[in-house]
Every structure is written in structure tokens, then in C-alpha cells.
Structure 1
Amino acid sequence: MKIHNKTGSFLLACSLALLAGCGSDGTSTSLTDNLIGTASAATLDTASNTSTTTDTAVVTTIPTVTTPTLAAQPLTVAETETLLFVREEEKLARDVYLTLYNQWGTNIFQNIANNGEQQHMDAIKVWVDAFGYVDPVSSNEIGAFTDPVILKLYNDLVARGMTSSQEALMVGGFIEEYDIKDLQDAIDEAKQGTNQAAVIQTYDSLLCGSRNHLRSFVGQIEKDGLVYQAQYVSQATVDAIVNSPDEKCGQ
């Protein structure tokens, strides 16, 4: 079934509006407390850097997100599996960060979890609902996952992050590198598959947010006098990201 331009644009507006504010570790009001307005009314003015306390994300309007009826070409089996994996992968990031915040009280974890990863989760859910898939996030409880791979990774990363506050920041860097690799793979897969521009643009906005999150973690690590080395992607990729300015994602 060929995607209808109006519905496709609405889906994209919903998912991208959820991503406005996924800069670095900006502090803003909870997304779920601000679901007002319409999909075309979302605007954002973001001022971001690598500190854990001074970044801001001023949201003037956040749209109501409703699940539209399915009006897009079905994804391939591989694309479907990737979409559902990314949905839980974003929850993994949120849950690890909230757990490490509770352990160490380092603001960067709470800020990125609430103002970044939750929005990433919500943006992917727009597509999960639109395609009529069963949401793999059957529980919002921290540490609850459907995919055994993600569950094991969650447990391993939390255990690592509990060893020290510095190691916790390294876990944050690893997660963002992991997301960057998977999201780029998702984009490449989608382009070679059904090539749906709106889905690809959602992934691209998540990828942008992950780059900003990596910049924030590396900035905090280096502020503490440590040297950050790549953990999952190439050092050249990490260097290219952290040596470039924060991006305004989904705008």
C-alpha cells in the first residue's frame, strides 16, 4: 500500500515533535506533562553544551501524539524486527541512565533519560502503533524487557556502572556508541528495503540525538580529567562527533 502524503507527514510530525529537545542533556519539563497543541505547532529553542546543569531546552508547544490509522507501505520482516528492537533499545538507555542516576546522583543521567531517551522511545512508538505491531515494551518498569539480548545488556551495563561514578559515565558513552551504530544500520537497511522517507527521517533524528548525548558524556568525562576512548564504534567516528558542535535535531 502506497503511503498517503498527508498521513505520512502527520506521522513524521508526531515522531519528530517528540524529538525536539533531544539535544544533549538539556533540562526541561517532562514530556508527558506537556502533550498539548497540534502536530504542526511544535517549536523549540535549544541552547546546549556538555555541562550537566546549565543546558536548557525551552519547549513552547509540544503536540498531542495520537496513533493514526495504518496508511503506509508495510515494512519488510527485517525492518519490522529492527523497529521493534530500537523501541526496546531506547528503553534500555533510559532505564540504565535512571538506575545510574539513582546510584550516583549525577544529573547528566537523569537529564538525558527524561529529556532524550524517553522522547526517542515515544517517537518509535508512533510507528509501532501506526503499523499495528505489538509493542515489545509491555511494561514501563525499569529493567523489564522482552528481548533477552537487551535484558542481558541492561544487566551487564548496570553492573558495570555500579562500580564507580566514572565507570558509570563510560557506560553512558558505550550506550550512545551502541545506539549510533544500530541507528545507522537501521537507516541503511530501510533505504535498501521499503525506503520510506518518514521512517528514515525518524531514525535520523534519533541518530542526531545520540550524537549529542555522546558529546555530553564525553564532555563530562573529560571535565573529570579522564581521556575517553571509543568502545563500540571506531575512534575516528567518536572523534568526528565529539569534535563537532551540538546539533539541533528534528528541526
Structure 2
Amino acid sequence: MKSLVKTRISLAVITLFTASWLMSCENDVTDISLDNQKNTAFSLEDQEALLFMLEEEKLARDTYIYLDELWGINQFANIQISEQSHLNAVADLLDSFDIDYAIQPEGEFANQEIQNLYDEFITDGTLSMTQALEVGATIEDLDIVDLQNYINATSNTAIISVFESLQCGSRNHLRSFVFALENTGNTYAPQFLTVEEYELIISNSNEQCGR
């Protein structure tokens, strides 16, 4: 009984202290014009980057759907909507370049590396509410780094514009998960970002993305 009361109190604390963060996550919808993308260089590496990020954004969405159903934490309910917009943005780029792709059913991925990550995140996120929030922070941490690697590797201006907007959204999401963890007396240690990169993100306010 005490455990149940403690969980309810923790959920209430998260809801109370993160309302403003969640409102900002609703503004993470990417709105990038693709009118001129046909005039930019496009490579096989660019195609692979788009197909990979399509599934990585789906990884975030599917994980948050699962964890929202399990824990009912507002972060997961709100950010999964933003992740759907991220998924749509990458799909729009694939469509604009006439690249074939398939979006797998929820919880399923063509890329085995991403499938393994999903399975791991679901297992970890089931253990506790704290673990679930840590999974959310880890996904956003990973997403920011992967997007930056692809930005650095391409000269395609359309991809750079969309990926930078997705990065902006992921920084907001990371702040939201970390803020929730801190308000339950826990901390997050970056898994992919450097400590310096992580601290710079956390120390800044939420951003307006895709504007």
C-alpha cells in the first residue's frame, strides 16, 4: 500500500512540475519547406541516413506509446505525438526523393540494431517509473547524437534542415525527461552525448523548433 501511495505521489509531482515543459513539446512539429530539395546533392549515404532515422524516430514513438500505456506518465503521452511528427518529417523527405520505404507495425523494425534497442528499452522501462523516464532520456540522448553524425556527413540542405529541426525537438524532450527525473529525486547521466554537450542542453531553456 505504501508503495502504491508513493507511486501516486511521484506521478503527481511529475505532472505538477512538468506542465510547462510538456506544452513546449507540442511545438516540436517539424515544418520545413522541401520545395528546393531536388536541387541539392543526394547520395546513397543520404538514403541510408533517412531510412535509419525513420526507424529511430519510430523507435521513440513506439517505446513511448508502450510506456505511456504502462505508467500513464504525461511525458510519454505528449512526446509520442511529437515523435509522430518527427516520423512524418522523415517520411516526407523519403517521398520527396522517391525512395521506397515501409513503416513496420508497432514494436517491429526492419533494422535489427533498432529492434534490439526497442526490446531492451521495453524491458528496462517495465521495471519502474524511474527506469521508464531514464529510457526516455536515453532515447533522446541517442537521437541527438545520431542526427548530428548524419548532419556532419551530408551536404544535402533539405536533410540538414529537417534533421536540425528534429534535433531541436529531441533537446526539448531530453530536458523534459531529465526534469521529471530530477523532480522524483533521481538524476540522468548521458550515455551518448559528452558531459559538456549534455550540460549545455540541460542548462538552456526549451526551444521553438521548425520555425
TM-score normalised by the chain length of structure 1: 0.70
The whole-number CA distance in structure 2 between the counterparts of 1:145 and 1:249 is 27
The structure-2 alpha-carbon separation of the partners of 1:57 and 1:176, relative to structure 1 and needing over 3 Å to count, comes to: closer
Alpha-carbon deviation of 1:74? 5.5
Q: RCO higher in 1 or 2 (8 Å CA, sep ≥ 6)?
A: 2
| 1:128 paired residue number | 94
Q: What letter is aligned with 1:119?
A: S
| Structure 1 segment 54-73 matched on structure 2, within 5 A | 55-56=22-23, 71-73=38-40
| Structure 1 segment 1-251 matched on structure 2, within 5 A | 51-52=18-19, 55-56=22-23, 71-73=38-40, 75-114=42-81, 116-137=82-103, 139=104, 141-190=105-154, 195-251=155-211
Runs of 4+ in 1 over 6 A off after TM superposition: none
The whole-number CA distance in structure 2 between the counterparts of 1:173 and 1:58 is 14
Asked if 1 retains the 8 angstrom alpha-carbon contact of 2:22 and 2:78, the reply is: no
Alpha-carbon deviation of 1:71? 3.1
The whole-number CA distance in structure 2 between the counterparts of 1:55 and 1:171 is 17
The whole-number CA distance in structure 2 between the counterparts of 1:75 and 1:197 is 10
Asked if 2 retains the 8 angstrom alpha-carbon contact of 1:52 and 1:108, the reply is: no
The whole-number CA distance in structure 1 between the counterparts of 2:40 and 2:107 is 33
The whole-number CA distance in structure 2 between the counterparts of 1:57 and 1:82 is 27
Alpha-carbon deviation of 1:232? 1.9
Structure 1: stretches of 5+ with no match in the other structure: 1-48
| 2:13 paired residue number | none
Deviations 1:202-242 (A, max 9, x none): 11000010000000000000011112211222122111101
The whole-number CA distance in structure 2 between the counterparts of 1:107 and 1:187 is 31
Asked if 1 retains the 8 angstrom alpha-carbon contact of 2:40 and 2:158, the reply is: no
Deviates more, 1:74-83 or 1:143-152: 74-83
The whole-number CA distance in structure 1 between the counterparts of 2:97 and 2:129 is 40
Provide the secondary structure at the position in 2 that maps to 1:146: coil
Alpha-carbon deviation of 1:197? 1.8
Structure 2: stretches of 5+ with no match in the other structure: 1-15
The structure-2 alpha-carbon separation of the partners of 1:136 and 1:150, relative to structure 1 and needing over 3 Å to count, comes to: farther
Q: What letter is aligned with 2:96?
A: A
Asked if 1 retains the 8 angstrom alpha-carbon contact of 2:54 and 2:91, the reply is: yes
**RMSD (Å), alpha carbons:** 2.7
The whole-number CA distance in structure 2 between the counterparts of 1:215 and 1:54 is 8
Identity %: 36
TM-score normalised by the chain length of structure 2: 0.83
Greater strand share, 1 or 2? 1
Provide the secondary structure at the position in 1 that maps to 2:45: helix
Alpha-carbon deviation of 1:58? 11
Provide the secondary structure at the position in 1 that maps to 2:38: coil
Provide the secondary structure at the position in 2 that maps to 1:162: helix
Asked if 2 retains the 8 angstrom alpha-carbon contact of 1:179 and 1:207, the reply is: yes
